[in-house]
């Protein structure tokens, strides 16, 4: 089968489309393996949908299925437009709900599902964490030092609260974010929904404005904004290669 490898601000994905919707958790582990496969943070499969432009199946590299992925939504939209599966302005179905996206060359903006604050009072190791759902649940801690990210602590919190874990630093009018992602079980170079959750907490605490730049570990620039109910998420997407894979 023909597959594409995409990178969106350091998050990388294997993407293909098919007419058949089925469980592909084993294939995800095989394709995403860094040594024995293509290597990626996740697998995205596009299948037809009678109401929307398409439906996606999203798998983490460990084979677990995820409701949503911000950077994945942008890579997926670029792939759909490039393969003439959808117009440049599109809507597609995820487990988190309907995502709207727009492709302009290599710049892609997606509109995430409305954010929800699940808990503001999580105390751990003297730190105050918020739990925010931006399609998937995220823990967010605002820090004065973005370089100090305790991976062991993040892993402990990930399993205790079944959520991704983020630390965020308010850098002037903008934000720097680092994320430990469940399903990958480690720190990734970028996480779209994690940046959105961090932005939403900082916005709720009046630390940033409604339109900012966010910098993940990859160092690339993302543009986030708050509408009446939803967060827009814009940045560059790169198609790395197209190849044939023998399943």
Question: Is the CB of residue 119 less than 8 Å from the CB of residue 105?
Answer: no
Position 9 pLDDT exceeds 90: no
Position 178 pLDDT exceeds 80: yes
- pTM, rounded to two decimals: 0.89
Using 50, 70 and 90 to split pLDDT, how confident is the model at 196? very high
C-alpha span between 163 and 180 (Å, rounded): 9
Of 18, 24, 149, 173, whose CA–CA distance to 83 is shortest?
18
Position 235 pLDDT exceeds 90: yes
Other beta carbons within 10 angstroms of residue 104's beta carbon come to 11
Query: Is 69 marked active-site?
Result: yes
In sequence order, what are the residues at sequence separation of 6 or more whose Cβ sits closer than 8 angstroms to the Cβ of residue 152? none
Give the model confidence (pLDDT) of 111-157 as tens digits: 999 999 999 999 999 999 999 999 999 999 999 999 999 999 999 99
Q: For residue 135, what pLDDT is reported?
A: 92
Strand-pairing partners, residue 211, are 225
C-alpha span between 28 and 201 (Å, rounded): 32
Burial of 28 (0-12, 13-18, 19+ CB in 10 A): buried
Query: Is 191 marked active-site?
Result: yes
């Amino acid at each position: 089968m023909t597959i594409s490898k995409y990178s969106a601000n350091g998050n990388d994905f294997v993407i293909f489309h098919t007419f058949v919707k089925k469980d592909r958790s084993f294939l995800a582990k095989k394709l995403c393996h860094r040594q024995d496969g293509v290597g990626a943070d996740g697998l995205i499969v596009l299948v037809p949908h009678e109401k929307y432009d398409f439906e996606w199946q999203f798998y983490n590299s460990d084979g677990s299925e995820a409701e949503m992925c911000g950077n994945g939504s942008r890579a997926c939209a670029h792939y759909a437009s490039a393969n003439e599966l959808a117009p440049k302005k599109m809507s597609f179905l995820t487990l988190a709900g309907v995502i709207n996206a727009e492709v302009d060359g290599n710049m892609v903006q997606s509109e995430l599902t409305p954010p929800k604050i699940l808990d503001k009072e999580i105390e751990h190791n003297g730190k105050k964490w918020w739990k925010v759902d931006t399609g998937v649940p995220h823990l967010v801690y605002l820090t004065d030092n973005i370089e100090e990210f305790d991976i062991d602590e993040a892993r402990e919190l990930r399993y205790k609260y079944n959520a991704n874990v983020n630390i965020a630093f308010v850098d002037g009018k903008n934000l720097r974010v680092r994320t430990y992602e469940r399903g990958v079980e480690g720190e990734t170079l970028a996480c779209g929904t994690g940046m959105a959750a961090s932005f939403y907490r900082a916005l709720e605490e009046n630390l940033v404005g409604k339109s900012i730049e966010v910098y993940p570990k990859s160092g690339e620039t993302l543009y986030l904004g708050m509408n009446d109910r939803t967060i827009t998420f814009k940045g560059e997407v790169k198609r790395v290669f197209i190849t044939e894979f023998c399943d």
